[in-house]
């Protein structure tokens, strides 16, 4: 699998963000739908999709079953969906599975440019920086000053290696010139 060009990456992201909401074909689904979440139960993707299961089941006229298949920054679940040819397995995932994984993993068992068709944007998430109140800073400037004065003493948590939360933390450290220790979260 070749590297994804910037133009290809931009096209994928733009198409994923601009697609209309879920449309139903007349003869689909014909059996229960598996909604795969490629992260552990209790995480943001899982929590955001669970309230949709009952209304989606009602609209589609078939049960919708959530299956969590975590690991490798979402790529294990993505592989399962890419290899599924049953027409009744869909995946909820941040675009990082398509846009980041190809650049941080040596080899993926699927081609993110061709293995998936975005259907709908369902959530929009934000990241925040927070710390324990006992630390001596209350804003970003104080955090950066503390980090520079105490190299390697600050840690940041992420959803796991190769995820957008890891890359966001790494970018924050690079941009600010502070050294942060990455602590990948293993699930809830």
Q: What is the pLDDT of residues 6-34, one digit of tens each?
A: 665 555 555 555 544 445 445 889 999 99
Q: What would the mean pLDDT of 70-94 be, rounded to a whole number? A: 89
Query: What is the CATH class of 140-184?
Result: alpha beta
CB 165 within 8 A of CB 127: yes
Q: Where in the chain is the domain with CATH 3.40.190.10?
A: 140-184
Instruction: Evaluate if residue 1 carries a pLDDT over 60.
Output: no
CB 108 within 8 A of CB 75: yes
Tell me which residue has tokens 């675009």.
95
The Cβ of residue 121 has, within 10 Å, a number of other Cβ atoms equal to 13
Q: Which listed CATH number (3.40.50.150, 3.20.20.70, 3.90.79.10, 3.40.190.150) goes with 6-104? A: 3.40.190.150
Q: Where in the chain is the domain with CATH 3.40.190.150?
A: 6-104
Ordered DSSP codes for 84-100 = --SS-EEE---THHHHT
CB 105 within 8 A of CB 167: no
The Cβ of residue 104 has, within 10 Å, a number of other Cβ atoms equal to 14
The pLDDT, as a whole number, for residue 21 is 45
Q: Is the pTM of this model over 0.75?
A: no
């Amino acid at each position: 699998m070749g590297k994804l060009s910037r133009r290809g990456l931009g096209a994928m992201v733009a198409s994923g963000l601009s697609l209309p909401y879920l449309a139903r074909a007349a003869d689909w689904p014909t059996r229960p739908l598996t909604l795969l979440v490629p992260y552990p139960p209790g995480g943001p993707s899982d929590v955001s999709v669970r309230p949709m299961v009952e209304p989606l089941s009602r609209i589609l006229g078939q049960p919708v079953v959530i299956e969590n298949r975590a690991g490798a920054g979402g790529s294990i679940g993505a592989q399962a969906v890419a290899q599924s040819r049953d027409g009744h397995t869909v995946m909820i995932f941040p675009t990082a599975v398509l846009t980041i994984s190809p650049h941080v993993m040596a080899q993926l068992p699927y081609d993110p440019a061709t293995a998936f068709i975005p259907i709908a944007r369902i959530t929009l998430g934000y990241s925040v920086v927070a710390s324990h109140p006992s630390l001596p800073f209350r804003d970003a400037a104080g955090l950066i000053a503390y980090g520079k004065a105490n190299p390697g003493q600050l840690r940041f948590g992420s959803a796991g290696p190769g995820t957008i939360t890891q890359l966001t933390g790494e970018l924050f450290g690079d941009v600010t010139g502070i050294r942060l220790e990455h602590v990948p979260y293993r699930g809830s």
